[in-house]
Structures are given as C-alpha cells and as structure tokens.
A and B are shown apart, each in its own frame.
Chain A
Amino acid sequence: MSFSSLLIMRHEMLLLAMILLLIAGEIFIPKHKKSSLVHLAIFLFGIQTAVGFLSLDTETLFGGSFRTNDMIHLFKNILNVGVLILLLQSADWITDKLIGAEKGTEFFILLFSSLLGMYFMISAGDFLMFYIGLELSTLPVAALVAYDAGKRKSSEAGVKMILSAALASGISLFGISLLYASTGSIYFDVMAIEMTSSNLSILGFVLFFAGLGFKISLAPFHFWTADVYEGAPISIASYLSVISKGAAVFILLILMFTVMRPLIDAWQNMLYAIAILTMTIGNIFALRQKNMKRFLAYSSIAQAGFILLGLIAGTQLGASSIIYFVLIYIFSNLAVFGVVQAISNKTGLEHMDDYNGFYRTNPMLSMVMLLGLFSLAGIPPAAGFFGKFFLYTAAASQGYYLLVFLAVVNVTISLYYYLIVLRAMFIRRSEQPIPSIKNSLYMRLGLALTVIGILAIGIYSPIYDYIHSISSLLN
C-alpha cells in the first residue's frame, strides 16, 4: 500500500485535518477573537465541500474494510453540502450563544467527528468498520443534543438519545454477530455470496435492521425522535433529521441491495409493514403538534416511511429514486429548519401560534418556508414532488399499487399539517406578529442555497440522470 492510495481517503483526511486545525485554533486564538473561529470553520468546510467534487478512483483499502467508488463519493458529497448549509444557518447561533460560553470549538469538533463517523460508515467494506463508523457518528451527537446545558429538556434529551442509541447499537451488534454466524465472514463482498435465506440469517438481519431503523427513526423505533428533537438545539435537531438520517439511509441502501439481497423475499414483506406503519404514525402524530420542532420530528418520521417505498422495489430504479429523494429531502428540510432557526435565534419562539401573521412582517422567510413545506408535501414545481413521484414509480414498477395508494393517502394527510403552518404564516393575523427579522449574510446564504436546491433539483433533470447512472454501481 503506497501513500498515494491513502489519497482515496481524501474526505476523511481533510476532515481530520480540519478538526486538528480547529483544536489548534482554540488554543492559539485569543479569547476576544474567538468568534473568528466560526468564519474559519465555515471557510474550511466550504473548501472541504468544494474539494469533494473532484473525482476519485474506485479502490479499496485495508484489505477491503474501506472502499470507495463514485456512488459512495456522491453520498459523501451530498452529506457535505447538507452540513455546509447547516453550518451557514447555525453561524449566528454559534456566535451568539456558544462562543461566549466557550463552547464553540467543541461544537465544531463534535459535529465534524460525527460526520467523520458517517464517512467511515458509508465507506465501510465490512461490518467492523461499519460498526465503528456507526458509533462514531452517534456518540458525539448525543453530546450535542445536550448542548443547551442550561435547559433541562436539552440534558434530558441527551440522556434519552444516548440510552436509546446504545440499546439500538447493541441490538444491531447482536444482529451482526448472528449474520456472521450464518455466513462465516464480516466482509460485505464475501457475505453477499455466502448469504442464504435461513432463520438464523433472517433473525440476524431483523436485529441489525432495528439498529439502523433507530437512526432513520422508522416506526416502531421512532419513540426517541420527538423528545430529542424538542430538547436539542435547532441546529442539532436539523442535523439529526437531515444528515444523520441521510447517512443511515445511504448505508442501509448499500447493505440491503448487496449483502442482504439474498433475503429479499423476507425483507420486502417486513418493509411493507414498516413503511405503512411509519408513514401513518408519523402523520397522525404530526397532526396535533404545536411545537415546531416536535412537528418537524413527526414530519421527518413520515418522510422516512416514503424512503422505504424505493427500498421495497429492490431495483436500480428504487435505488436511484431513494438517493434522489434523500438529496431533495436534505434541501427541503434544511429550508424549513433554517426558517425555524432564524425565528428562534431572534425571538426564541418555537410555537406554531407565534407564527401568526408572519408573512406580513417577513415575506422572504415565509416564502422560503412555503417552498420548503411544499417540497416536503410533494407539490410541484418544488423538487419534493419529483422525489416522491419517482419513489411511487419505483414501488409501482414491482406491482405494489396498494402500497402506493396508501402512500398517496398519507401525502394528503401530511398536506393538512403542512398547510396548517402556512395558514398561521399567511392567512392568520396577529396582534403582535414577530417583528421583521434581519438575517446575517450566512443565514441568507444558507437559505438561498436551499431555495436553489428545491427549485433546481426537480426541474433540472440531468441531476437525476447522473444519480441513476451512478446507482448502477450497487449491482
């Protein structure tokens, strides 16, 4: 192994270097200039994101435990873009609340460590690397969830998160060991060949799936979601619902379509039930939420249910529509979270009724919210419509018409609660509306990027074509 082959770990290396740089910055930058750390971190991560788009060879390292190809590369880029937007949107919050409390650097270090874990998880070539990545991606987030140390709810959420995460990863590990027992290997390539449908392997798969189901917050592993989102700082809730979920979906997609492919008959039935359950539970609980973060938590559960439609198909069409959907979902959800964060930063308000009459004082922010919610609800010309349509198409191509029907019924239900937010913002009047908010340049940039994403990804079809051509690497 030459040094040059380490270059295929470019993402990981750069991120690690960035973490070290930030630590150095924490030590050497004098106290009254600490806020420059935020600019530094965003600048460095901007470079990281940009460099990520350079092409990369297909190779494996460490005897097959680390691998990369164009698809994995794309996954990392998608996550990078998401994190970059997230950082832009959170810059104000970090400057105002964290830097003063001397917690700014740690925030970045924890966040980037978790992202590093996701890189390794996605790039894993065996279950050992996968598990290390999974843990590394979860543990720092638990600390971040509890970051609002002054708030009881935040600490409580942190504890909830770490306990359920530990349980989930334990169950997942047990599942992995059963899979090892049935195939005699932990390498994905070998397992894909050795895997046969037996009770042992199916049990192993189900337990393993529970662990990832927790991260994606599929029903019935979703119970932590609403409480944790509500307690966590908004940036972290956003990170959990967008980046963390996206990464878990990506690795699940890889595993289901390669290693678990021989068990397809078993998991199609299972996913059928879980998809219906997840969409319905997410939607029904979202209907009555008044706190924006809880509301978005349930909405993100429901959205996860739709992703399963593509998984069930088990075809290349399914794979490409999932990747496409996750990409769109990242932009749409970040748009909504961004607006919620902008409001919360300036006023501390998170209740839906506080949004009454918001359009008349803040037309731009309301329009971003409108686009984000339309995209989540799947209304054209927002990209979400295309993402959902292709997922339905993938499921219908395998004859799952009933499932598609239930999904579209769920979309109609979800439209109701998305419209409730818009009703508050656009239709209702308020005696004391939220005053006009002046956003920083970072926040504006963060929101503008999401708007561009929502409008462009759907209508501009080459993006989907590229994803489709990449997704052939799964087979």
Chain B
Amino acid sequence: MDILSLFVVVPVITILALFFSKGLKQSRMIAMIGSLVQLAMAINLVFAYVKERAVNDAIMVFTRDLVWFKEFNIHYAIGVDGISVALLTLTAIVVLAGVFISWMMDDLPKEFFVSLIVLATGVYGFFISIDLFTMFVFYEIAVIPMYLLIGIWGTGPKEHSAMKLTLMLMGASAVLLVGILGIYFNSNADGGALTFNILEIAKVNIPFEAQKLFFPLTFIGFAVLGALFPFHTWSPDGHASAPTAVSMLHAGVLMKLGGYGVFRVAMFLLPEGAMDWSWFFIILSATGVIYGALGAVRQNDLKYINAYSSVSHLGMVLFALLMLNKTAWNGAILQSLSHGFMTALFFALIGMIYGRTHTRDVHKLGGLLKVIPFISVVYVIAGMASLGLPGFSGFVAEMNIFVGAFQHTDMFHRVATIVSISAIVVTAVYILRVVGLMLMGPVKNEEFKNLPTVRWYEVTGILLLLIPITALGVAPLWISDMIMESIQPFIQGVIQ
C-alpha cells in the first residue's frame, strides 16, 4: 500500500469499524482514532514530501497508476505536489477538530460520524487524484453526505437548506461533467490516445475553439463549490442550518475543492480558455468579494455572518486565481489554507456559543468576554486573522494576492483589484461589529452569568485550529516555498 492510497483506505476502514460500533462513546472513539491516524499520516506526508522533493523534480511525486476501465483509458492515478500536501494536512486537522467538536453528538452518533468520514474520504481522494474521472468520483462522494448531515442533524429550515445545497452542488457537478467529457474527447488533439490523466492532457494542445467552449463549463462546475457569485446562494443557507462540525468541514475544507479544481483542471488544462474568459469571471469574483463582505455586515445571525464572510474570502481565492500570475496564485493557495483554519475555528466557536446561550443573534448576545473568556478571546484572535492583521495567516495570503493583482497594469484589472481590496475594510467592519456587540459591553442576559466553561474536547478542537493560523502567520515562508515551486509547472501554460 502506498503512502497516498492510505488516505482513502484508512477512512474506509474507519467507516467499516463505525458500522459495528454501538452508542456515542464507541463511535466517537473510533472516529477520533481514525482521524488521529489520518492526521499522523498527513504530518508524515509533509516530511516525506519535503524529502522526496529534494531528489525528485517531477510535477507530481508519490505517483501511482493503476488501470481501471481500460476501454475509456480510466486510471486510478494518484500523486501529490506541495499544494495537495498542504490541503491534505488542512483536511486532516479540520476533520479531527470536527470530531472533537462533535464529542457530545447524541442523536444517531454512529451515522453522524459515518457521514462525516465519508465526506472526508471524498475530500482526501479528490486531493490525491490526478485522473479526471477518479477526481470526479471523489468530488461527488464528498458532496452527497452533506444532504444527510444537514438534513438529519441540522437546525432551522434544515430540509430546505439541505436540498438547496445538494441540488446546486450536484447541478454544478453535472455542468462540470460535460466540461470533463469535453476535455477528454479533445485529449487526442495531438494524435495520442484519449486520456483522463491530467498530466498527460496538459501536454496536449487542445484546440482553441474547444478551450473556449469547455473552460466556462469546467470553471463554473468547480467554482460553484467555491461560492462563485451569483451561484453562492447555497452557502449561507447551508452553513446556517448545518451542525457545527459540518459547517467547519464544509466551509473549511469542502469549499476548497472548488478553488483547487479550478486551477488544477480548468486553468491547467485549458489555459487559453482561461485567458479568453478571465475578464468575465474576474467581474463575477470581484463582485462576490465585495458582495459577500457587505452581506456579512447586514446579517445578525452569527452563522450567516461567517457564511457571507466565506463567500467574500473564497471569492478572493477565485479572483486571485484569475489574475493568472505566480504571486497571486501563491496568495490564493495560502488564502485557501488560512481561510480553511480560520473559518473552521469560527464555526467551532459559534457552535460552542450557541450550545451555551441557545441563540446566534448578535443583538441578543453581549458581554460574553466576561462570562466565557476563553472562547471570546479565541473569537477575537480568529477575527483578527480574518481581517488580515499581520502576524496571522490571513495577512500573508491577502498581501500576496494583491501584490500579484497589481502586477497587471491595465485599467480593468486595476479597478477590479481596488474593488476587491476595499472588501478588507468592510471585513474589519463586520468583524469588529460582532466583537463589539457580542463580546464587549455589559452582560445582556442574566442567564449568561452562569454559562459552563469550556470542556477539554472543546479546547483540543480549538487549539488544533488555532496553532496553524498563528504558525502560518509567523512563519509563512516554508509553506509558501512549498507552494511556490509547485505552482511553477501549472502557471507556465497560462504565462506563455
């Protein structure tokens, strides 16, 4: 068994073990052990990758290729570069934190952890695939458990949100499927065999007409998951209704699939299409950035605020990718990572606050800093990271994005960049508004005075997420280097 396939095999074993478990105690234990093993594997992979990279300068390392359906030339092909390693680590951390946050999930615990880990399996598989078909399979496996996760364990209008989210994402994957088939049937343009292998297709010069036709399909197919305006509407409803761990995993990890797919598939394989269409999607993503930020200012529900903030931050990722240069792409990946940790942390904290106060309305909360200081302080830290304060991960990411964006000297890009940058100011507004209303001031409700303090599993979950945020902010260079050298082969097609 190779080091990468384990990322799929271990969750599958965990799922099988969960099927035979009984009750909350057993199932959360199994889920935790499975996720811990996964995290250990991810950390091990980081070191193995650094070691391997020193001697191996292929685009993807640890590759493995098994023929699956030979008639279609479908392979189970896997491999990683610095970007996928970073995202795999992100996933492992968020999943483990999610398990800790769901420590007290008493309604159908077995089923909850099974669904959660099925979702994780899909995400792991997606990040290690270098075959379009395999990738697509994992993509769908990652999306579909959301329906049950939100539907069964959610709150509020959960049936509606779950259905809306599932249909929009599956609809997007349907569009993506046409795009993938288009790429597949043009992969013999240079006279070779039809193939789904990303690295093989990248060598082929797909005709410009086909690129123009299939780029938007592929881009939209992925970007809906990355909350591309105006297809972001599933995200606020979905996040608001989802249980805490699911919001964490979804905003923290699943939405990253969108940006990852965009640059790994759409831009890498259809670079001319990307250049041809970039103006259009820049408009959409810049609108998303500012729209999401403004939307967050207007909301009173903590989860909605964070969901809109995710729309804004992930719009920034798409925006950076569309800038089509190395610095901005580096920023995009860093932003994905930083947002992954940060937003997962936010949702975890919101879950804890909601679990104690039974409300998510910022106007009904107040003075929480006095009663639950630990949670409140971490909330402030996460907020600072979110608005891009130096010393946290958000700053490094946004800095890179806008430096990259300013390398374009024409009017159109300038305007779009300035519009996007202005969202940072709005971000400060909604973060500080929440901090002011919810944490500062007098304690609004007498009942809040005796809120229970944090439990050990909550602290563990928080620390798991908090450490990377600070680490990324204080010492971004090593990971930035890892990403930079991996971006090189991908950006080449676009630069030429």
Contacts and interface: CB of A to CB of B under 8 A. Distances in A.
B442 interface: no
Interface in A238-297: none
Contacts of B68: 461
A53 interface: no
Contacts of B152: 426-427
Interface in A340-392: 360, 374, 379-381, 385, 389-390, 392
Contacts of A415: 166-167, 170
B71 A374 contact: no
Given A409-B174, A464-B71, A427 B151 contact: yes
Contacts of B181: 392-393, 396, 401, 404
B163 A416 contact: yes
B20 interface: no
Interface in A383-430: 385, 389-390, 392-393, 396-397, 401, 404-405, 408-409, 411-412, 415-416, 419, 422-423, 426-428
B171 A397 contact: no
Interface in A166-200: none
Contacts of A423: 151, 159, 163
B140 interface: yes
A317 interface: yes
B123 to A, nearest CB: 14
B167 A416 contact: yes
B234 interface: no
Contact of A408 (B69, B133, B174): B174
Interface string B148-159: 100110000011
A389 B68 CA distance: 14
B177 interface: yes
A57 interface: no
A415 B146 CA distance: 14
A397 B185 contact: yes
A408 B72 CA distance: 20
Nearest to A395: B181
Interface in A184-240: none
Given A380-B141, A426-B151, A412 B178 contact: no
Contacts of B147: 419, 422
A70 interface: no
A412 B170 contact: yes
Given A401-B178, A409-B171, A381 B163 contact: no
B174 A317 contact: no
B71 A385 contact: no
A59 interface: no
B144 interface: yes
A370 B166 CA distance: 15
A233 to B, nearest CB: 32
A7 B71 CA distance: 34
Contacts of A409: 171, 174
B358 interface: no
Interface residues of B, number: 31
B182 interface: yes
Contact of B70 (A385, A426, A465): A465
Contacts of A401: 178, 181-182
B238 to A, nearest CB: 14
Contact of B174 (A411, A416, A419, A427): A411
A320 interface: yes
B175 interface: yes
A153 interface: no
Interface residues of A, number: 33
B120 to A, nearest CB: 15
A34 interface: no
Interface in B64-88: 68-72
Secondary structure of the B contact surface, majority rule: helix
A444 interface: no
Contacts of B174: 408-409, 411-412
A292 B135 CA distance: 34
A468 interface: yes
B211 to A, nearest CB: 14
A427 B72 contact: no
Contacts of A385: 137, 140
Contact of A404 (B72, B158, B170, B178): B178
Contacts of B182: 396, 401
Contacts of B163: 416, 419, 423
Nearest to B175: A408
A408 B181 CA distance: 12
Q: Which of B144, B162, B167, B181 has the most A CB atoms < 10 Å from its CB?
A: B181
Q: Which of A381, A422, A427, A468 has the most B CB atoms < 10 Å from its CB?
A: A427
Given A380-B137, A423-B159, A317 B170 contact: no
Contacts of A427: 148, 151-152, 158-159, 162
B151 A317 contact: no
Contacts of B178: 396, 401, 404-405, 408
A143 to B, nearest CB: 42
Contacts of B70: 461, 465
B72 A393 contact: yes
B171 A374 contact: no
A411 B144 CA distance: 14
A461 B171 contact: no
A395 to B, nearest CB: 9
B228 to A, nearest CB: 17
Nearest to B169: A412
Q: Which of A379, A393, A416, A461 has the most B CB atoms < 10 Å from its CB?
A: A393
Interface in A62-113: none
Given A415-B166, A415-B167, A427-B159, A468 B71 contact: yes
B210 to A, nearest CB: 10
A423 B151 CA distance: 8
Q: Which of A317, A385, A423, A428 has the most B CB atoms < 10 Å from its CB?
A: A423
A374 to B, nearest CB: 7
Nearest to A374: B144
A465 B171 contact: no
Contacts of A468: 71
A461 B67 CA distance: 9
A419 B145 CA distance: 12
Given A379-B140, A426-B152, A427-B159, A461 B177 contact: no
B194 to A, nearest CB: 9
Complex A-B, nearest 8 residue pairs according to Cβ-Cβ distance, in ascending order: A408-B174, A427-B151, A396-B181, A412-B171, A380-B137, A461-B69, A468-B71, A405-B178
Interface of A: 317, 320, 360, 374, 379-381, 385, 389-390, 392-393, 396-397, 401, 404-405, 408-409, 411-412, 415-416, 419, 422-423, 426-428, 461, 464-465, 468
6 contacts: A320-B71, A401-B178, A415-B170, A422-B148, A426-B152, A461-B68
Given A360-B108, A416-B167, A423-B151, 10 more contacts: A317-B71, A381-B141, A396-B181, A396-B184, A396-B185, A404-B177, A408-B174, A422-B147, A427-B148, A461-B70
